[in-house]
Amino acid sequence: MKKRLKAPALLLTLSMTAAIGLSACGNNNNNASPSASPSTSPTASESNSPSASSSEPAKTELQPFEVSIYMPGSPQKDQVVVEERIDELLKDKLPNTKVSLNYIDWSAYLEKTNLMLQSGEPLDLVFAPEWYQFFSNAAKGAFLPLNDDSLAQGNLLAQYGKGISETINPSYLQAPVIAGKLYAIPTNKELAQGRGFAFRKDIVEKYNFDISTVKDLKDIEPFLQVIKEKEPNIYPVYSNKQDSVLDWLQDYGYQQLGFGTYINRTVEGSKVISMTSPEYLAIELANDKLLNDWYKKGYLNKNAPTTQEKIDDIKSAGKIWFISTTTSPGREEALRIKNNSGSGPENFDWSIVNTQAPLVTTSQATGSQFAIARSSKDPARAMMVLDLLYTDKELLNTVVFGIQDKHYTKVGDNKIKQIADSGYAPGNAWIIGNQLNNYLLDNESDSKYEEYVEFNKTAEQSPLLGFSFNPDPVKTQVASYNTIFTEFSDILRTGPVDPVDILKKRNDKLDKAGIGKIVEEMQKQLDEWKVANGK
């Protein structure tokens, strides 16, 4: 017996020593950054100096520092050359400041940046949109508050982000907020997307379809029979597990809050309901039924539930004539796709019908943004660089497009053509800074950015803009919701079975697993938020 005890005892000692060693290390890191930064960074003197009057930071006092920027994308061959050019550009505006661009592959970005944040690696500017777990990371303290006077470096946005506040659409700064604190600066671009359908122009013209009558999915039905009879090579309706025609339907007034909860924004009172409630079920059932009906009538591609094809390949092959889609300025150009079918026009062009105007919600306005990591050694400098990305056109375009005549050529005053395989084309135009300052690509419409500005003016602002849900108190229920929802979602989105029984089964399971608790918590947080924000 004694003999056997030894091994675990040894183990225990081993792991204890390890734990002590490591925790000490961890503490060091945590203590190091906040205390170290005021001394190395110019903030202390900066905040005393009359920064209120001059928007330019006091240049002479800046210590040498390299601001690291992390964003998704393939690492670029000419990164170093571009970094050198950026440093040159910064020489006058931010002396002693360098920038390192860190592109991390799309598929690895989330995992890698989370690991870096968790292990306290010193990062400065991190691309952190809502769909990269921004709110949960911010709630857990991964990022620095940017408008917090009590921060060691002071209110970063007010001191070093003047240019941002002046250029960005003000709706943006209401969104990445938790408990009154701003945790990220969104990219200035189109504020939200609308929803609608896109129809292939050549087909619409050929059969003289009046697509302007389309307000909802069911309005498309009359066209389907025609396609089925006359176009044997086209699926009247195409869906697969990744892209279903049910994806971008109008929301019928129900704004999604996440984890199976909604509010009816057309009525007063902001009452949270679950997807299992009769009023929401009716909407879901109607559309799922329609899809199943089309499946049975042979309109929908039969392989919808199993196919692994990518929808764009099928579009290219000329087998799709309508899709559901998001809408925004320039969307029609973005949808244009090469015709690989062997006959017909060179490209397929699409006409868009809007079914819902853009609604600026928290998740829409936080779809592309940068945060400053808590581990940053000099958050003030990070903010200064970010600020320049909103105001300095040359700097931004160097980050996005590289160097003139090496990576792109100018074909117009504000228009460029990218040089193929030039060694720098990260494709991050929509990711960083003030997109309205980007050069236009040769295939983009001259008025793209004016359209953005106009579009943003017409966009409707959700009364809940700025509200975000913290799932922590009900994470057990959320986990159950996740498993149950995903179990049934594919089958409903691809139409092979009658949805009545499936929805009933799913909703019974959801109710049993405690979706009511999520609704309660959502309502509670929403009410608290409304009180706190005077809404």
Choice between 6 and 457, CB closer to another protein:
6
Query: Closer CB to another protein, residue 94 or residue 300?
Result: 300
Other CB atoms within 10 A of residue 271 CB: 13
**3-class DSSP state of 146:** coil
Residues 291-330 that bind another protein (CB under 8 A): 302-303, 305-306, 308-317, 319, 325-326, 328, 330
For 358, residues 6+ apart whose C-beta sits below 8 A from its C-beta are: 190, 191, 192, 193, 194, 327, 328, 364, 455, 458, 459, 460
Which one, 48 or 486, has the nearer CB to another protein?
486
Applying CB under 8 A, what is the total number of residues that bind another protein?
A: 106
Find, among 9, 124, 105, 24, the residue nearest to 65 by Cα. 124
Between residues 55 and 340, which has the closer beta carbon with respect to another protein? 340
- Work out which of 193, 292, 376, 525 binds another protein, going by CB under 8 A: 193
User: Cβ closer to another protein: 57 or 329?
Assistant: 329
**Position among 162, 377, 407, 509 found at the interface with another protein (CB under 8 A):** 509
CB 486 to another protein: min, Å: 5
The one-letter amino acid code at 460 reads: E
Please give the C-alpha separations between residue 129 and each of 135, 181, 187, 344, 375, in angstroms, as whole numbers.
9, 16, 10, 40, 18
Q: Does 260 engage in binding with another protein (CB under 8 A)? A: no
Residues 364-403 that bind another protein (CB under 8 A): 367-368, 374
Map tokens 């053509």 to a residue. Answer: 417
Phi and psi based region of residue 238 (left: phi greater than 0; alpha: psi -120 to 50; beta: remaining) = beta
Which 339-358 residues touch another protein, going by CB under 8 A? 340, 342
Which stretch, 60-68, 239-247, 270-278, 390-398, contacts another protein (CB under 8 A)? 239-247
Q: In the numeric block, which tokens belong to residue 210?
A: 């009046």
182 vs 246, beta carbon nearer another protein: 246
Say whether residue 471 binds another protein (CB under 8 A): yes
Does 144 bind another protein (CB under 8 A)? Our answer is: no
Cα gap 506→535, rounded to integer Å: 35
Q: Is 68 near another protein (CB under 8 A)?
A: no
Question: Which residue from 151, 202, 488, 498 is in contact with another protein, where contact means CB under 8 A?
Answer: 488
Query: Tokens 């005077």 map to which residue?
Result: 534
Please report, as residue ranges, which positions from 112 to 131 form the binding site for another protein (by CB under 8 A).
112, 114-115, 117-121, 129-131
Distance CA 177, CA 147 (A): 10
473 binding another protein? (CB under 8 A): no
Q: Is 30 in the site for another protein (CB under 8 A)?
A: yes
Tokens of 203: 């087909």
- In the complex, what is the shortest distance from the CB of residue 166 to another protein, in angstroms, rounded to a whole number? 24
Interior/surface letters 313-338, b for 16+ CB within 10 angstroms, e for the rest:
ebbbebbbbbbbbbbbbbbbeebebe
